[in-house]
């Protein structure tokens, strides 16, 4: 903790300290403390600090909370307001000050308070409401008194959970999920200023996985471990590369390992599940193949799309190639060496990779696409290294089996010049088996 966490006249509980003497003075080095409440300047110089502290705590307990204003009913420029709030996020500390976003029981957020700690519930009495453009601020100045709630008085966020598979097209959702990947804190630039970002991968009870991004101080403050249960309120679904992701804003409330029935049930469920994130299905923004085919793609740009459909192998000839170990491009054999034209060097340890030519059919339209890497392994069910040791009959059976499933397909389209005509090429990035067609014997 740093000195800026102690405000003037704050009441704190010292948990850990060292006692020392220097010349004639006695001093305490505070190692750890909790902030209990905000006090007031001592009025009488005669009273000792100890007596004053006792009085202050007493005074805080008798603050009349009968007249509590709902945030939704706050009028501009009124003073002496008491609100009962839950702190849900905090900004970074600049010049010793920071802002918090809070909400109250009416579910209204958007008022910003200073000098509070995130995660706490409290009464604020004597604040003044200020309005600056579309923002409303509760100005604490010297007049406001903060009283941390008694346990029975704590405000708790009420969540209304949406299954991850159901977040598509919604403006904002509450989710209950388990952390499968904690994500790194990444320094990034947004609109010319630098900030921090952390993207978690979380799994829902419905077996779907989604990435949740936190920004700024929230990203820095967040400490999560694998298997933590998060309740996240008011998080925004967005589409990136045809996949749904979630973004936390200032008004998103995060509850970590809450002790309630739903949270405990998810924790219990997680103990019996795979902890490998590749075993979970992504939430995709599925569109029709027609939309993809109708989309004009500018040269040098890529366009991502997700389709639900069937896949058949178009060319059943040679489907493997020797790939460069650093860029995965096809190698050419020259004078007993494998050369990569892309990297410009000889590759000493080429790997065997698939290139499949397939037709994707969504029931209305179809298109030819290429499939490489992991997506091809998912389709054929064996690695390229294993493939070359299988018999032709095995090859035929595996080619046929590709058509037995219904898939969710993510593909990337990019424009290429074909004899002065701009043409689109489609590459499948990933496939997920949605269900298997059961053949009725004829
Ligand atoms: Zn290469």
Are 277 and 295 within one domain?
no
In the structure encoding, which two tokens stand for residue 96, read together? 């010793």
Q: State the Cα–Cα distance between residues 64 and 62, nearest whole angstrom.
A: 6
Range of the domain at 168: 164-282
Count of helices and strands (H, E) across the chain: 7, 25
Closest CA to 304 of 407, 426, 411: 411
Domain boundary among 228, 248, 282: 282
Q: Is residue 255 part of a domain?
A: yes
Is 232 in the same domain as 349?
Answer: no
In the chain, how many domains are there?
4
Q: Are residues 27 and 134 in the same domain?
A: no
> Model confidence over 273-315: pLDDT tens digits?
999 988 898 999 999 999 999 998 888 889 999 999 999 999 8
| Distance from residue 321's CA to the centre of ligand 1 (Å) | 13
Distance 320 CA to ligand 1 centre (A): 16
Contact 53, 38 (CB under 8 A): no
108 and 51 within one domain: no
For residues 105 and 40, membership in a common domain is answered with: no
The rounded Å distance from CA 347 to ligand 1 centre is: 8
Q: Does 232 fall in a domain?
A: yes
Ligand 1 centroid–CA 338 distance in Å is: 10
303 & 260 share domain: no
Looking at the fold, whether 187 and 238 belong to one and the same domain comes out as yes
Can you say whether residue 369 is alpha, beta or left, with left for phi > 0 and alpha for psi between -120 and 50 degrees? beta
Using the mean position of ligand 1's atoms as its centre, give its distance from the Cα of residue 13 in Å. Answer: 61
The Å distance, Cα 297 to ligand 1 centre, comes to 27
Going by C-alpha positions, the residue among 370, 395, 385 that lies closest to residue 317 is 395
CA 333 / ligand 1 centre spacing (Å) = 13
- For residue 433, what is the enclosing H or E element? strand 421-436
Ligand 1 centre from 341 Cα, in Å? 7
159 located within any domain: no
Please tell me the distance between residue 203's alpha carbon and the centre of ligand 1 in angstroms: 35
Q: What spacing in Å lies between the alpha carbon of 93 and ligand 1's midpoint? A: 46
Cα 306 to ligand 1 centroid, rounded to whole Å: 29
Q: Which residues contact 80 (CB under 8 A, 6 or more apart)?
A: 125, 126, 127, 128, 143
Instruction: Output the domain CATH number for residue 141.
Output: 2.40.50.140
Rounded distance from Cα 317 to ligand 1 centre (Å) = 24
Last residue of a domain, one of 282, 304, 319: 282
Angular region, 115: left φ>0, alpha ψ -120 to 50, beta rest: left
pLDDT at 253: 82
Which tokens sit at 149? 């709630």
- Select from 34, 61, 88 the last residue of a domain: 61
What distance in angstroms lies between residue 344's CA and the mean position of ligand 1's atoms? 7
442 inside domain: no
SS3 of the chain: helix, strand, coil, percent, to 5: 15, 45, 35
Same domain, 227 and 258: yes
Q: State whether 401 and 345 are in the same domain.
A: yes
345 within some domain: yes
Ligand 1 centroid to 330 CA: how many Å?
8
Ligand 1 centroid, distance to 328 Cα (angstroms): 6
Asked whether residue 66 is domain-assigned, the answer is no
- Calculate the alpha carbon distances from 123 to 57, 64, 77, 358, 420 in Å: 14, 10, 19, 64, 70
379 Cα to the center of ligand 1, angstroms:
25
Report CA(92)–ligand 1 centroid distance (Å). Answer: 43
Dist. CA 284 → ligand 1 center (Å):
31
Q: Output DSSP code: residue 80.
A: S
158: in domain: no
Do 296 and 423 belong together in one domain? Answer: yes
Could you give the CA distance from residue 442 to residue 439 in angstroms, rounded to a whole number? Answer: 9
CA of 426 from ligand 1 middle (Å) equals 22
415 CA distance to ligand 1 middle (Å)? 22
Domain match, 210 and 106 both:
no
Tens digit of each residue's pLDDT, the chain (442 residues): 334 455 555 555 555 555 545 544 444 455 555 665 555 443 333 333 343 333 333 333 333 444 677 766 666 555 556 777 776 666 666 665 556 666 666 554 444 444 455 566 777 776 667 666 666 666 665 556 667 777 777 777 788 999 999 999 899 999 999 999 989 999 988 888 888 899 999 999 999 999 999 988 788 878 899 999 999 988 999 999 999 999 998 778 888 899 899 999 999 999 999 999 888 989 999 999 999 999 988 888 899 999 999 999 998 888 999 999 888 889 998 888 899 988 888 888 889 999 999 999 999 999 999 999 999 999 999 999 999 999 999 999 999 999 999 999 999 999 888 888 888 999 999 998 888 877 655 5
What is residue 75's predicted lDDT score, i.e. its pLDDT?
62
Give the distance (Å) from ligand 1 centre to CA of residue 340.
Answer: 5
Same domain, 295 and 428: yes
Q: Do the domain assignments include residue 441?
A: no
250: nearest Cα among 99, 106, 121:
99
- CA 302 to ligand 1 center in whole angstroms: 21
Dihedral angle sign, alpha carbons of residues 405, 406, 410, 412: positive
How many angstroms is it from 374 CA to the middle of ligand 1? 18
């Amino acid at each position: 903790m740093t000195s800026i966490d102690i405000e003037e006249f704050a009441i704190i509980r010292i948990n850990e300290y060292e006692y020392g003497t220097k010349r004639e003075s006695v001093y305490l080095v505070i190692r750890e403390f909790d902030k209990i409440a905000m006090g007031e300047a001592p009025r009488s110089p005669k009273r000792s600090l100890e007596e004053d502290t006792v009085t202050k705590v007493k005074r805080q307990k008798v603050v009349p909370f009968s007249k509590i204003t709902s945030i939704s009913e706050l009028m501009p420029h009124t003073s002496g307001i008491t609100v009962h709030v839950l702190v849900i996020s905090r900004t970074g500390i600049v010049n010793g000050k920071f802002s918090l976003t809070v909400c109250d029981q009416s579910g209204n957020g958007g008022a910003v308070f200073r000098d509070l700690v995130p995660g706490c519930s409290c009464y604020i009495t004597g604040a003044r409401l200020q309005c600056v453009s579309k923002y409303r601020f509760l100005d604490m100045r010297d007049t406001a008194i903060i009283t941390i709630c008694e346990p029975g008085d704590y405000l708790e966020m009420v969540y209304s959970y949406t299954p991850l598979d159901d977040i598509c097209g919604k403006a904002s959702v509450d989710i209950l999920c388990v952390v499968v990947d904690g994500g790194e804190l990444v320094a990034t630039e947004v609109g010319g200023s630098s900030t921090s970002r952390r993207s978690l991968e979380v799994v829902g009870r419905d077996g779907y996985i989604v990435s949740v991004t936190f920004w700024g101080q929230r990203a820095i403050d967040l400490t999560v471990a694998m298997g933590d249960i998060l309740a996240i309120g008011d998080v925004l679904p967005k589409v990136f590369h045809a996949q749904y992701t979630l973004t936390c804003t200032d008004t998103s409330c995060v509850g970590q390992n809450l002790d309630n029935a739903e949270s405990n049930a998810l924790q219990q469920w997680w103990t019996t599940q795979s902890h490998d994130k590749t075993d979970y299905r992504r939430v995709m923004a599925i569109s029709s193949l027609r939309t993809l085919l109708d989309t004009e793609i500018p040269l040098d740009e890529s366009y991502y799309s997700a389709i639900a459909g069937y896949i058949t192998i178009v060319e059943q000839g040679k489907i493997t190639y020797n790939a460069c170990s650093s860029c995965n491009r096809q190698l050419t054999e020259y004078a007993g060496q494998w050369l990569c034209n892309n990297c410009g060097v000889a590759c000493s340890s080429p790997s065997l990779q698939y290139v499949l030519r397939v037709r994707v059919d969504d029931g209305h339209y179809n298109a030819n696409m290429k499939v490489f890497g992991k997506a091809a392994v998912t389709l054929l069910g064996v690695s390229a290294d294993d493939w070359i040791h299988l018999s032709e009959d095995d090859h035929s059976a595996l080619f046929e089996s590709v058509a037995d499933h219904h898939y969710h397909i993510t593909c990337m389209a990019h424009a290429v010049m074909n004899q002065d005509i701009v043409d689109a090429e489609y590459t499948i990035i990933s496939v997920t088996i949605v269900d298997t067609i059961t053949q009725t014997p004829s």
